[in-house]
Amino acid sequence: MPTISLELFKMGDKKSFDYALEKMSCICGGIASPAYIDITYRFNDKVIVVKNVPVLRCENCEEIYSDALIEKRVEELAYKAMQEHKSFISFTDF
């Protein structure tokens, strides 16, 4: 599993992500490279989108690989957006 340093994002340098994760082999034989995606959560009748989530995405099959720290932060941000009655929030909103 890849590891990501959240400290890079606290510095506000999104380009640092390219150095936080190295490319890795995917199960399909392709190469998973750093990418940003949006993740949608549903809480009862509310839909919340967490934007610009850093992941590794396979260039061949588009399989997504993430890190537990990133996933935890995404969940925290989605909950924060729900509490603030927002429909979206960016991963870089610390």
pLDDT, tens only, 43-63: 888 899 999 999 999 999 999
pLDDT, tens only, 6-19: 444 444 444 444 44
Look at residues 46, 40, 54, 42 and name the one whose alpha carbon lies nearest to residue 91: 54
| CATH of 6-90 given 3.30.499.10, 3.10.20.860, 3.40.50.2300, 3.40.190.10 | 3.10.20.860
Confirm whether pTM is higher than 0.85: no
Which residues fall within 8 angstroms of residue 1, CB to CB, at 6 or more apart?
Answer: 65, 67, 68
